[in-house]
Amino acid sequence: MNLPEDIGRAHPHLEGDLPFVLSSHSVRILKALSQLRVGEYRRSRPVCLHIAAAAGSGKSRLLNHYMSQVSAVREATGSRYREAILIEAPYDGNCMKMCRSIINACLPGFPIRKTQNIHEQVADVLQASGVKQLLIDEAGHILNAGKSGQQYTLALIKSICNLGITVCIATTRNMVNALAADEQLASRFKRVELPVWSESNEFRQFLAGIEVELKLPERSHLDSKTMIRWLAAHDCCVTFRLLEVVLGAARLANSRGEGHISVELLDEFWKSGFGVEERSHED
């Protein structure tokens, strides 16, 4: 989809992604993460968190926002203490790659010793770095490793929990059954969910927050019934698609000197190729 080249020049904040917008659901999860980091460290069976949501619901944005709030930027040497680390599970679910990601998040460039069990090395580095909380984004990739690989990685997660480190995994709902099948992990992980939006006070508040971040000269009334029904009718009920459509319409408004987003601009952005591209990806 081709948009005019001057989009974003008058309003540089429309370039790239919008800042993280809080919702009542994300606030609850952020509070839970903070409470677990502070209250569960060094307990023999720390409570852990499973964020389960549809693809595009904002799990990665939520975890990155949380990390920006709780962790200082690491020095190039990797020597700065961090209470929480965030990694992304490798697509093939390979446990060795995940172990390397954990070690590198603690001590960038730290060599892997072939003479020591990799799980033990992960434990040593986590403890030496003072990590209290491990966040694993795209943890559903663990299922791509096959049954034996999946069990090996789940054993790694158990061993990290046994260190008194609380773990948070973010997945689509396909991981729910895998956790439920493991009695030990099922008893440790508390599941929370991010919503697929529907017409509600929470959705209206979220849309009002998005409008504040857009900083357009005039109100667009994104939280009005007309706008919400347009978004629902076009399946813009997961956060990623919602933000793409609203931000695209805002850029169109900006490029034309219009002060706000209208239904007509939403329609135009959708028909310019975005809606077709989205449907083709889903098919």
Q: Looking at this protein, which amino acid is placed at residue 244?
A: E
Average pLDDT rounded to a whole number, residues 166-170 = 97
pLDDT score of 278 more than 90: no
Average pLDDT rounded to a whole number, residues 126-135 = 94
DSSP string of 15-78, one letter each residue: SSPPPP---HHHHHHHHHHHHHHHHSTT-SS--EEEEE--TTSSHHHHHHHHHHHH-PPPPTTS
Average pLDDT rounded to a whole number, residues 227-249 = 94
Q: Quote the tokens at residue 66.
A: 């949380």
Q: Looking at this protein, which amino acid is placed at residue 114?
A: K
Closest CA to 134 of 85, 73, 201, 76: 85
Q: How confident is the model at residue 11 (pLDDT cuts 50, 70, 90)?
A: low
Model confidence over 30-63: pLDDT tens digits? Answer: 999 999 999 999 999 999 999 999 999 999 999 9
Q: Quote the tokens at residue 246.
A: 């609203």
Average pLDDT rounded to a whole number, residues 240-247 = 94
The confidence score (pLDDT) of residue 80 equals 58
DSSP string of 121-185, one letter each residue: HHHHHHHHTT--EEEEETGGGGGGGHHHHHHHHHHHHHHHHTTT-EEEEEE-GGGHHHHHTSHHH
Are 10 and 217 a contacting pair, CB within 8 Å?
no
Q: Which fold has domain 197-282?
A: Helicase, Ruva Protein; domain 3 (1.10.8)
Q: How confident is the model at residue 275 (pLDDT cuts 50, 70, 90)?
A: low
The overall average pLDDT reported for the chain is: 88
The confidence score (pLDDT) of residue 12 equals 56
The confidence score (pLDDT) of residue 5 equals 45
Residue 224 exposed, middle or buried by CB count within 10 Å (0-12, 13-18, 19+): middle
Domain boundaries, the chain: 24-193, 197-282
The confidence score (pLDDT) of residue 2 equals 46
The confidence score (pLDDT) of residue 72 equals 53
Model confidence over 181-206: pLDDT tens digits? Answer: 888 888 999 999 998 999 999 999 99
The confidence score (pLDDT) of residue 128 equals 92
C-alpha distances (whole Å) from 262 to each of 78, 235, 251, 265, 270 are 48, 18, 12, 5, 12
pLDDT score of 117 more than 80: yes
The confidence score (pLDDT) of residue 6 equals 47
Average pLDDT rounded to a whole number, residues 270-283 = 59
| 87 three-class SS | strand
pLDDT score of 64 more than 80: yes
Please state which CATH number belongs to domain 24-193.
3.40.50.300
pLDDT score of 219 more than 60: yes
